[in-house]
Chain A
Amino acid sequence: MRKFREAIIEKTILLNGFACILFVVLIFVFLAKDGLTLFRTIAIQDFLFGQIWSPLAEPPQFGILPLFLGSLFVTVGATVISVPLGMACAIFIGEIAPRWMREVLKAGVELLAAIPSIVIGFIGMTMLGPVVKSLFHLPTGLTAVTGSIALAFMAIPTMVSIMEDAITSVPRTYKEGSLALGATHWQTIYRVIIPAASSGIVAAIMLGIGRVIGETMAVMMLTGNASVMPKTILAPVRTMTATIAAEMGETVRGSEHYFALFAIGLVLFGITFLINFLADMARHRKKK
């Protein structure tokens, strides 16, 4: 009887393990089911490389290139800002800051991670937008750059916590060996510790980028939502995520527009899957 009960419990636990795989597959299936339907009526190259996204025009046009570029601009901008800042912050926390300051900074980074993206978007709209507008003499403050700045700060906590892990898990002996040879602390950091932690740092950057690409609400509120081919980073853009969030509410279920939004979801899923897979590979290489 006891044996029997245990066997059942163990089977349940086993099934649970597979649930995660099931969910990933389900997500893919449900995105693909509706997303791929689009390509019955729209050629796949028109979707991927079309330069006009205009679902309400007659005939509607579903080219996601402007949206893709919007995502790319915002992501590149956020990466350029967040990687140096995040790395500097992680090194400072992991290696330099005295104990009390480390605790304060870590708590601050955790709080930053905890602020909901909608709140960042809201504050960004009311505070950051006007600043960008007057700084660059623009007609509107809601541009790719505004989104990049806000997103950088949303990616930084992810990056900092993983990078700091990577930095603090570098064996002490490496550091002591270098210091014993007369290198300064700073030389030790950039000659020994950073190279030794590099795969963790790469993984952190990848995951941060993944977070930026997937971010929705803040970018929707901050980038100005213009679905045209972006010319500069100071122009309003619209990302893939924002397009889905903004337009799904107004589509008719089963229409081409509806399928097109799922197709965008499928593209996003593919991109983030790839990024996370690579980040995981980088982390696993470190362990070996």
Chain B
Amino acid sequence: MQLVLEKRAERSNTIALVSPLIAIGLTIVTMVILFAILGKNPLLALHAYFIAPLTDGYSLQEIAVKATPLVMIAIGLSLCYLANAWNIGAEGQFLIGAVAGSWIAVKTQGTDAGAWVLPAMFVLAAAGGALYALIPAICKVKFGASEILTSLMLVYVADLFLDYLVRGPWRDPHGFNFPTTAEFDPVATVPLLIEGGRLHLGSIIALVVVAAAAILLGRTIKGFEIRVVGAAPRAARFGGFNADQLIILTFAVSGALAGLAGIIEVAGPVGHLQPGISPGYGFTAIIVAFLGRLNPLGILIAGLFLALTFIGGEQAQIAMKIPLDVTKVFQGILLFYVLACDSLILYRFKLVFPNRQVARGTG
């Protein structure tokens, strides 16, 4: 028996819509098996992961807080991936944005600097993230170096740079030698939306980013160019679109968004700069981008869903002692199923029996 792929005459729009749902369903089935192997009650575990966080206000806010960086980064990545540019270093751009924005917060600490501090931090963070993303983009366009490898290598560099700053020049002198800056001043902190709650201004910014991306992709020539360069490079060349320029543009935009997400995380929920400010947002955002089908609205939903798995994972760890790594396994498996189901949009799967002589596929 062999599995053979048959190309569909045209892409199936029905499957394009339901494939993320099939993928989530298959992932949950796989997780049930994994929970059983780990000796945990699968139903209780699923409840802790997916239902419990939705039942109290604090967790709901926490989901929105976690979804904020995921959605912002994934929107930027989706522009890159649509243009067939592979930025996988968003984690590094996130960290550099956090560092660049924190610079103002650290330098104005304890002074009577006014309300300009936070906007200035945002601008600097976006600029820092964009410049950091431009390194692999320019290496790609000017020298042909693989942007996949260079952008990924720069993640490690950014991580070490942040580590150096908070252990060296920026360390809080009253911080008992912990590698962290002092808590940011109130003017350098992202304001909360609900007094005493967790939800902050960043979530509104993320929604604005989603809307802007939807307009860019659906209503503007630039958005059209991005989609054509990725989907039909030959047609794009005939159309006179400059693919190199689009790589630079999409990398810069995605770097800026990742950088902005970085400073919002630091000046918001975290409150100071320290190592480990990201539980891998830059990499999880890759999954968010694909699960959301590289579509802004889809990314918003996917971001909330992945944020749910982060919060659910923490709750499952506390309630049932399920290791946190299960969340990463879950996210990896989910990406696999999403990609496999995407294949259904272009192909039909057929099982063929060897006695009917056909072209060979994998066994």
A, B from the same assembly: no
